[in-house]
Amino acid sequence: MHVPAKPSPKEVPRATFLGRAVAGNLGALAVGVKYFFDPNRITLLYPHEYIKLRQGYRGYIVLIFDKCISCASCARICPARAMKMVSINVFDKKLKKYMKKKYPVINYNRCIFCGFCVDVCPTEALYHVPYHDLVYNSMADMVLTLEDFQKEPEFVTAKEGVPVTYIYDEKKGLVKVHYEEEGGEVQKAEGGQASAATEAQGEQAQGGGG
Ligand code: SF4
Ligand code: SF4
């Protein structure tokens, strides 16, 4: 079968190139104008709005110290080598003396939020918080101390921002709505930490973690 050779750019008339360029730009402008007048704005006005993520979202990780049995499974399974064990002196109530024990700490420079460490923990000593938009002052700050690893990080965006979620409408497509209007209740705890009192009806489309 004979396949006609593609004309080289030199063989395509200049007017055709110009025509395509103008048509392409007009098409792009038409899309912009269409969405400028479309009342269904799905763009997130971050940080004045933020996506209220569901419980179970793989956000930042917190250690419950008293539940940890120092098995190191979390550090062993971590594919990014973000979790490591550190030794500290702990008072053993049974033996009534101080003993060296190892506990995990996390390096958020390396963490990919896969959640393996949380899943593998045999005592549920690790859990995710459903937010991940935190800012650190330096890379050194992203390597948590054992003390910091036990605190839920402050969710600053929730102090001022309005929680929103996205739903799918058959006519309009993706629609942004206030989280409360969808049946979710957001409680502003002291310090601005937001938490869902009830979950919105049905599970709306939200990405996985990290
Ligand atoms: S979430 Fe994944 S990458 Fe992050 S510390 Fe846990 S196992 Fe490692
Ligand atoms: S897997 Fe759980 S119990 Fe084991 S060291 Fe990690 S946090 Fe502690």
Extents of the domains making up the chain = 41-54+153-210, 61-149
CA 74 remoteness from chain centre: 20
Residue 72 neighbours by CB under 8 Å, 6+ apart: 85, 102, 104
User: Which atom from ligand 1 is nearest to the alpha carbon of 112?
Assistant: 3
Residue 87 CB neighbour total at 10 angstroms: 10
Ligand 1, atom 7: nearest CA belongs to which residue?
A: 78
User: Which atom from ligand 2 is nearest to the alpha carbon of 70?
Assistant: 5
User: Which atom from ligand 2 is nearest to the alpha carbon of 123?
Assistant: 3
Strand partners, 98: 91
CB neighbour class for 126 (10 Å; exposed up to 12, middle 13-18, buried from 19):
buried
In angstroms, the CA 175 to CA 172 distance is 7
Contact yes or no for 60/130 (Cβ under 8 A): no
Measured CA to CA in angstroms, residue 183 lies from 50, 53, 200, 209 at distances of 17, 14, 5, 23
Mean pLDDT estimate for the chain: 84
CATH topology of domain 61-149: Alpha-Beta Plaits (3.30.70)
Instruction: Identify the pLDDT of residue 142.
Output: 96
Instruction: Identify the pLDDT of residue 35.
Output: 82
Q: Is the pLDDT at 179 greater than 50, yes or no?
A: yes
Q: Is the pLDDT at 210 greater than 90, yes or no?
A: no
Select from 105, 108, 113, 126 the residue to mutate for testing ligand 1; criterion: most ligand atoms less than 8 Å from CB. 113
Instruction: Identify the pLDDT of residue 118.
Output: 98
Q: Average pLDDT for residues 6-10, to the nearest whole number?
A: 64
CA of 95 to the centre of ligand 1 (A): 33
Summarised one tens digit per residue, pLDDT across range 93-148 is: 888 899 999 999 999 999 999 999 999 999 999 999 998 888 899 999 999 999 99
Contact yes or no for 136/142 (Cβ under 8 A): yes
Tell which wins on pLDDT, 14 or 208. 14
CA of 66 to the centre of ligand 2 (A): 10
Alpha-carbon dihedral 93, 97, 100, 102, rounded to 10 degrees: 10
Residue 205 neighbours by CB under 8 Å, 6+ apart: 166, 168
The number of the ligand nearest the C-alpha atom of 116 reads: 1
User: Which atom from ligand 1 is nearest to the alpha carbon of 74?
Assistant: 7
In angstroms, the CA 204 to CA 165 distance is 8
Summarised one tens digit per residue, pLDDT across range 186-196 is: 554 333 344 44
> 92: which 2 tokens?
């053993």
